[in-house]
Chains A and B, each alone.
Chain A
Amino acid sequence: MSLMEPHAHSADHPLYRRRRRKSAIMMTLSLAAALFGIAWLVAILATLLFKGVGGLSLAAFTENTPPPGSEGGLLNAIVGSLIMTAIGVAIGTPVGILAGTYMAEYGKHNRLSTVVRFINDILLSAPSIVVGLFVYEVVVVKMGHFSGIAGALALAIIVVPVVVRTTEDMLNLVPHQLREAASALGLPRSTVIQRIAYKAAQAGIITGVLLAIARVSGETAPLLFTALNNQFWSSNLNAPMASLPVVIFQFALSPYTDWQQLAWTGALIVTFAVLALSIAARILAARSGK
């Protein structure tokens, strides 16, 4: 065939031209897809800055959420978010690190680890509102009222799978020779893990914790019916507690313009905090990778 048509391979053969045209069209479409995706990121961040910066004053950080129609800030919501996130991370992190340790160090190939890994990956992307329902059933109903501690527990359940996943991955990256050298010195297994493996995987594990904090600091659904909300200053873990995401939710859907403005300001603060945490985690991961 090609012997009889000597020009079949030349660049301007109609068939080849058609194939090249098709390729160019598809590649242009993929370029358009990328521009489309980035346009949304820019659009959301630009709106957030545009609407949120106006309300970013000292009062936003020093005054409590106001009744409709008067001036105020987000202090009680910010503090509530910080308290519940801190407790949630303090409970979830040790559990996550220990479970990740079991899968990477003790039961690397056994059936239990495979099952836990599978379940953990599902929990990682399971709907967070279901976690809220679970904590409502187990804690809120038993206590008889909504509380900050219930909110913190719901956040802890969301922290665990994130930390389990990164801890296991990071421990798996630690070279075996390090463990073998430590074992050869006669160190018991638990000491090898605590003093050698954890130290080598430190940066990666911290990255995982930062990512977990970023994840829970924007979580709204699990707090709606565990911590509920609180219009006033409260650091009492046994009482309903305000949080930034829930205040944003409530204020944004309200008909009052000053509440809506505070919702935008809160949204800007949350987004900024989450982006800062994820960028910090990224920098840490990149630095430890070298």
Chain B
Amino acid sequence: MTDAPFETAASFAGLDAARAGRLRSFRIRDGLFRNLTLASALLVLAILGGVILALIIGSSLAFETFGFGFFVTESWNPVTEKFGALSPIYGTLVTSLIAMLIAVPVGLGIAIFLTELCPPVFRRPIGVAIELLAGIPSIIYGIWGLFVFAPMLQSTVQPFLIGTFGHVPVLSTLFAGPPYGIGILTAGLILAIMVLPFVTSISRDVFETVPVVLKEAAYGVGCTRWEVVRRIVIPYTRVGVVGGVMLGLGRALGETMAVTFVIGNAHRISGSVLAPGTTISASIANEFTEAVGDLYTSSLIALGLILFIITFFVLAIARLMLMRLESRAGA
């Protein structure tokens, strides 16, 4: 627009000046846009840095007060202001372990069913249904867990566990106590249902990367369907499957709402999985708005920092493994 008078002048000098001006405006806009995208990319890093920094600053009071003892103390007493992270850490690890023990075999089973056994007509609808299950907000699992799943466990599964294993050594402590309905086991089972879709959809995706020729060759030498899965598909996709499992584990460790409803929020470590307990995220969700005093708040933020560091490493390992698979697939 600005260079219109030069065009009517039609002199070579004018044209050159016009072109130079237009090129300059192109260059400026180009530079601006490029820097804008660069700044946004850096902002992603800044978010992570900000989160870590804010958590470290917020938790410094708790770590200064309790030192390393914070990690190994079970007591959590707002009245005497003695806080220790041991029981939330324990609860987080045990509920996630229960979740993975169930979700990994079932998730792999569904992925095997979808890639090897399922008639093609049903393959997409079932796959989509599983992925929709992954999209349901965790609070829905929580409310369902509290009102439907926990009472069901209380009246059926838990009395059965207590009755069956009550006199077996070791197992009797694991399944000791009255059936509350809510507790560590219930939280672990709800987490298993939540994590299942993640494990399933990633395993299915990596199973589909197995070259068809490999499978056909195995069938050609007389392998059964299971042998093809066991000897060809799983070895070929091992890295990706482990990556998917770790991704699910990352979700389970950090999951808040579904657990908060059904864990019972008791800061103590019990040998029985039927007893109420707490996890890091459930403690923060339940207590943060009611926490009075700087030390209480700071201790909860310290829990948040511990959770973030644990999940960061689990997710980082997951991503590295999946990236290794991608680079192999690309090569």
Contact = CB atoms under 8 A, between A and B. Distances in A.
A30 to B, nearest CB: 4
B248 to A, nearest CB: 9
A229 B112 CA distance: 45
Contacts of A20: 224
Interface in B83-142: 105-110, 112-114, 116-118, 126, 128-133, 135-142
Contacts of B140: 44, 48, 218, 267, 270-271
Contact of B112 (A30, A103, A275): A30
A161 interface: yes
A33 B106 contact: yes
Most buried by B among A115, A190, A214: A190
Contacts of A169: none
Nearest to A252: B143
- By DSSP majority rule, is chain A's interface helix, strand, loop, or mixed? helix
A186 B17 CA distance: 18
B301 A137 contact: yes
A38 B129 contact: yes
Contact of B304 (A94, A129, A214, A267): A129
B128 A282 contact: yes
Contacts of B301: 133, 137
A248 interface: yes
Interface string A26-40: 110111111011101
Interface stretch (A58-66, A69-77, A105-113, A231-239): A105-113
B148 interface: yes
B225 interface: yes
Contacts of A30: 109-110, 112-113, 116-117
Interface stretch (A119-127, A174-182, A200-208): A119-127
Contacts of A79: none
B285 interface: yes
Contacts of A137: 54-55, 57-58, 301
Contact of A275 (B47, B135, B142): B135
Contacts of A53: none
Contacts of B106: 33, 36-37
A137 B308 CA distance: 15
B50 interface: yes
B114 A34 contact: yes
Contact of A220 (B36, B200, B257): B257
B95 to A, nearest CB: 14
B41 A40 contact: no
B205 to A, nearest CB: 14
Nearest to B102: A36
Given A125-B247, A190-B30, A221-B281, A275 B40 contact: no
A193 interface: yes
Interface string A119-145: 111110111111101101110000000
Nearest to A114: B323
A22 B254 contact: no
Interface string B320-331: 000100000000
A221 B257 contact: yes
B196 interface: yes
Contact of A122 (B196, B307, B315): B315
Chain A CB within 10 A, most for which of B34, B41, B255: B41
A85 interface: no
Contacts of A27: 112-113, 116-117, 225-226
Contact of B307 (A40, A43, A127, A271): A127
B41 A220 contact: no
Given A26-B229, A218-B138, A134 B55 contact: yes
Most buried by A among B33, B114, B117, B319: B33
A263 B144 CA distance: 11
B308 A37 contact: no
A190 B29 contact: yes
A115 B45 CA distance: 8
Given A119-B48, A275-B135, A190 B34 contact: yes
B311 interface: yes
B44 A116 contact: yes
A86 B85 CA distance: 37
A31 B51 contact: no
Interface of B: 26-27, 29-30, 32-34, 36-45, 47-48, 50-51, 54-55, 57-58, 105-110, 112-114, 116-118, 126, 128-133, 135-144, 146-148, 193, 196-197, 200, 222, 224-227, 229, 247, 250-251, 253-257, 260-261, 281, 284-285, 288-289, 301, 304, 307-308, 311-312, 315-316, 319, 323
7 contacts: A47-B147, A98-B41, A127-B254, A134-B54, A136-B288, A224-B288, A248-B139
Given A129-B256, A160-B47, 20 more contacts: A16-B222, A23-B226, A33-B105, A33-B113, A34-B109, A34-B113, A43-B148, A44-B144, A98-B36, A102-B40, A126-B312, A127-B254, A127-B255, A130-B307, A188-B26, A190-B30, A193-B33, A224-B285, A224-B289, A278-B135
